[in-house]
Amino acid sequence: MHAAPPPPTPADAAGGAPAPSPRFDARAAQRARQRIEAAAEPPWLHTEAARRMAERLTWIKREPALVLDWSGRAGASAQWLARTYPSARVRAVREGGAVQRGAAPAPWWRRMWRAGADDVAVDETPGMGAGLLWSNMQLHFAPDPQPLMQAWHRATAPDGFLMFSTLGPGSLSLLRELYDEAGWGAPHAPFVDMHDLGDMLVAHGWAEPVMDQETLRLTYRSAEALVAELHGLGANFSPRRFAGLRTPRWRTRLCRALTQRAVDGLITLEVELVYGHAFRAPDAGPRVQAETQIALDEMKLMLRNAGSKKQAG
């Protein structure tokens, strides 16, 4: 799942992969995303997050001419974007290129995915001037959110805006409790708090960020159904995870522990969905301080020069 970001590094999306994080296995995350995108259908949670995020577009009165869907094949967003902006050109950003450098290479079956005429590679996105940069449930696959935010910024028009969703730290608390009690290591890498994401947006050129979240309470009648759902959502990206392969006996123990947490025959799993919205800030110009001190002699010289220019005009 998602790691909290490591300390800032000189590397950015254009220069290569960020420095490895002790809290996030980037290669494992890349493999999991490739597996999810190769599935016949996107995860149910991705589809639901896309629907809920699309509802938030009604708050925005702007009509973008170009929409970049930075969600990958498992983003489940195409229908919502087409329905909301029927006159816009929607282009899907396919994986590969600068943001993914250093990650595990895609297998042959992933490289042969059907690319449409409106697909665009990551390396082609800088300067595209998108009116809307949309990313559904992809940020938690990034080892460090900051290079991705920079790439989004470079692809967006000066008056464009960003909408994204990701998983928050309130997700999967039941799993954390069970793993901690049984001494099974970490069930997932830590997720990034929405306030930290908002600070990162501001630091990388986004203005007026609005962050909000909601917690979904998913219920399952069997532990096996819950485990299958989790498998479809991703994998464990934490370097603190169990180093070897799990056995059928361990899976039985996990299902038994989950079943013991059932209430009235239902096992409840909480998932925190975090939504972010921001506008691309204008390119930074000369900074003006709130208070400026000028020496008297310098002020006289400035006035004298201004008078000379006025007479010359």
Asked if 147 contacts 13 with a C-beta cutoff of 8 angstroms, the reply is: yes
Beta-strand relationship, 130-136 and 66-69: parallel
- Domain assignment of residue 286, yes or no: yes
Most distant CA atoms of the chain, gap in Å: 92
- Domain assignment of residue 159, yes or no: yes
Handedness of CA 266, 248, 232, 30 (dihedral sign): positive
- Domain assignment of residue 6, yes or no: no
Looking at the DSSP bridge assignments, the partners of residue 213 are 274
Residue holding tokens 């290129």? 97
Q: pLDDT averaged over the chain?
A: 80
Residue bearing the bigger pLDDT, 190 or 23:
190
Residue holding tokens 């989004």? 152
Lowest mean pLDDT among 103-107, 150-154, 200-204, 305-309: 103-107
Beta carbons within 10 angstroms of residue 224's beta carbon: 13
- Domain assignment of residue 10, yes or no: no
Asked if 56 contacts 182 with a C-beta cutoff of 8 angstroms, the reply is: no
Residue 7: DSSP 8-state: S
d(CA 154, CA 126): 5
d(CA 79, CA 43): 15
Segment 268-287, tens digit of pLDDT: 999 999 999 999 987 654 44
Residue bearing the bigger pLDDT, 179 or 108:
179
Domain extent for 76: 26-312
State residue 91 phi and psi, 5-degree precision: -120, 130
Helix axis angle, 145-155 relative to 194-203, nearest 10°?
Answer: 50
CA 45 to centroid of chain Cα atoms: 15
Asked if 175 contacts 188 with a C-beta cutoff of 8 angstroms, the reply is: yes
- Which of 110, 33, 47 is closest to 76 using CA atoms? 47
- Joined together, the tokens standing for residue 312 give 């010359």
Give the helix, strand, coil percentages of the chain, each rounded to 5: 40, 20, 40
Average pLDDT on 241-264 reads 87
Residue holding tokens 């149910």? 44
Asked if 24 contacts 238 with a C-beta cutoff of 8 angstroms, the reply is: yes
183 Rama sector, left if φ>0, alpha if ψ -120 to 50, beta otherwise: left
Lowest mean pLDDT among 14-28, 199-213, 251-265: 14-28
d(CA 29, CA 58): 33
Segment 206-234, tens digit of pLDDT: 999 999 999 999 999 999 999 998 888 87
CA 135 to centroid of chain Cα atoms: 7
Task: Please say if the pLDDT value at position 177 is more than 90.
Answer: yes
- Domain assignment of residue 2, yes or no: no
- Domain assignment of residue 150, yes or no: yes
Q: To the nearest whole percent, how much of the chain has pLDDT over 90?
A: 54
- Domain assignment of residue 247, yes or no: yes
- Domain assignment of residue 1, yes or no: no
d(CA 221, CA 268): 9
Lowest mean pLDDT among 16-25, 91-100, 289-298: 289-298
Write the single-letter amino acid at 3.
A
Highest average pLDDT, of 40-44, 149-153, 180-184, 244-248, comes from: 149-153
Q: For position 204, what pLDDT does the model report?
A: 95
- CATH number of the domain encompassing residue 196: 3.40.50.150
300 CB burial (10 A radius; 0-12, 13-18, 19+): exposed
Structural domains in the chain (count): 1
